[in-house]
Structure 1
Amino acid sequence: MSRRTILVLGASGLIGRFVTDDLRARGFRVAGVARRLSVAQTMSALDIELPILSLDAAALTRLLGEHAVDVVVNCLGVLQDGPGSDTNAVHSDFVARLLQSIGDSGRAIRLVHISIPGNASEDRTAFATTKREAERLIAASGIPHTILRPGFVVAPSAYGGSAMLRALAAFPIDLPSAEMATPFQPVAIEDIVAAIAWLAARDIDDASVKSVSWDLMQAEPITMAGVIEQFRHAFGTAGWPRVAMPSFMLDLGAKIGDLASYLGWMAPMRTTAIAELRRGVRGDPSAWIAATGIKPKTLAETVGRHPATIQDKWFARLFLVKALIFASLVTFWLVSGFIALFVSYRAAAGILIAHNFPSALVDPVTIGTSLMDMSIGVLIAFRRTAAIGLIAGIFASLGYMFGAAILTPDLWIEPLGALVKTGPAIVLMFVALLMLDNR
């Protein structure tokens, strides 16, 4: 096989990571670039952390030249505008600079761009319209290119929406009937990589693939209900009785997800995600199948080849519970501090006075611990500082327990067991700390 060099942009994502690793296994030289890579994702010297979206065209041109790139695979994308996320900047502005850099590189480079299926007339979200604008820029560039429009991607890993569907399959909960009936054609991630590998092996002058757009998905129609049902067979939950979620709860969850995104969390349920879900996933893979000879795997073949392991089941069950854990911890620390400071200040201070605490320290300690509790809640609420907040919460709780053992030991046998209950709270914070990673 020709030792061609492929540059994968967005190598930390669901598609990008799998593409990077699989193409290397096929014998290609692959440089995987992402803004941030986890330690586990830096398995090669060619896994590169770069502020890729802030690079200008000249810097991108240098990157292409340094690695002698033959094929660029652009897997970059963001779901929704928000702090640190700009759909137009990622999907349109960056693609414009990338096209310029390819043109200025003086090299014969093929661009493989990951987009979304569907008709432009149905685009309603900023995510969809900016993705479509990128397609228009690429089509007008004259650069050899292939636009791939995968359906719902089924992969061994799961982030965002793919993780949410697995979570639904693990519980006896259905989406509202209208959403369950939407077309939702899936594609195995192995088929996406097979298409990219097939393209990478083509000569740059091959006119048949110089300017094409393909839908990548199984040919057989299937609905959202069918997708979730297949995962339920894998999880062993297919026979469970189920309750349909009311539509207002889906919309409310999306609004809460929007709020969480402003705190830095990658919430899978946001208004854009629900809008795209209601639009459905459909397309015509016949052109892709005819050109490449690839026979797309059906969902049954894809999920059936990877039966649910205990790891899969734990992940699916805990995925939605994770949000509940963090929300409860934030509420716990904020409310406990607020009550002690503003609602029951006299009672809180009275506990210290009743146990002969130095009077000069009663007010400072009561106020200080209350503010500390609320600060811990705020730290946990923001994704960037959540780990600091959880560690602070664990040490603060241990401090309360040991301090009470020394200064007010009788509180340990208090009928409601307030101090005894601190132990499970510490364990929950430790669990939250272990679940903090997204990738």
Structure 2
Amino acid sequence: MTSRMYAGDGRQVTSQQRRQDQSNDDVFLLDLEGKIDTLKNVSTDIHSELKNSTTRLDTLRGGLDEAQGYVKQGFDNMSKIMHNKTLVYEYADRGPIHVEDGVPNCGSAVRVVRGHKNCTEKEDRMTGEICRPGMEMGRPNRSTQSIGSRARLMARQGVTNDVQWNAVIASATETIASLTPLDIALLVNALTKVGKADAHLYTMIKDRIIHLIAFFSSGHLAMIMSAYAKAELMDDTLYQCLKAEIDRRMYEFITPTELCMVLNAVAKCKERDNAFLEKLAGHIRYHIQSFLTQELALVASRFHALDFYDKPLFDTIEQLTIKHTGRFFTNDAIATLAAFTHFDAGNKHIREILKSHIKEQHEYLNDDDYSERVRSSKLNMEDKTDLLSVLCRGDC
């Protein structure tokens, strides 16, 4: 006989059902206990990891403190070195260095240097520059290493005083054999930039450039080639030497500035070596994604001037021009349009985009300025007429 009980809601509950419910409760409790044990294990692991992390942090903190000490010591040493360097040059520049029996009496300057262990290189420089046999009595001449930097600084500051520039030219002429590749690049670039290029100096420097050609960096080569071309003092010997070196080390030219300087100089020299131009065009195309719109326009216009068409390069220029049309200045857009009209007159799409942009620029220019820019360009008559139509004048 099965015993019966009644639940709180009046339902009958058999003993079998009670056993089933108790069994379910036991399973639930066992499962709960298992989860609690798992959580305890996880908590133990977390606590252990926290202890390990704390230990690692303490180790790192100790390492950082030690590194900070090394850095502080390094700065202290650098400060001492700079202080010693100042003492050396101030002491050496106080008065004349006398020459007795052909031997310069520069012991005072050398003693100052030898008094500091960290200035051994300065000692060599001092003995090489100041204690040179046969040197004129009096204050030493400025180091040849500063000529290029001094010329660059004067060019940046817009110095127009002929006396100062003549002094730089005279100093460079006297020390031509001691000029470094960096000095030469900075010097000729600065002189050309301010319109003070000296034909005699440039001719003298040319031989040293050829002699040291392998020691010039890609930036130096680009600066020299550009400076000589702009000054119209480039002769065939120097040009062929620079061109051959650039051809061999083309992979070193990766910045837009270097590539544009080389291309601009090549265009001014009216290069006709198609193999070299093809290599240069391919190299420019490889790096052209980083070019600004002004640089894109320069590339297009210079190859237009050379009458050399590289389709893959101009296809890439077209894509970038369409993408960045709004960034083109008026003259850059006109030069790019002239190049595409010359090489790919059937490409109506890029031509219409550029012409539309140029017409929009008319709003920011007065009529005479806009007209002069269009009329003086290398555009064909059809494009000029189209662009001038926005002026709405009778003579257009």
Q: Report the TM range for the smaller structure's normalisation.
A: under 0.3
Higher-Rg structure is: 2
Q: Which has the higher contact order (CA 8 A, sep 6+)?
A: 1
User: Which is strand-richer, 1 or 2?
Assistant: 1
Q: Going by fraction, where is helix more abundant, 1 or 2? A: 2
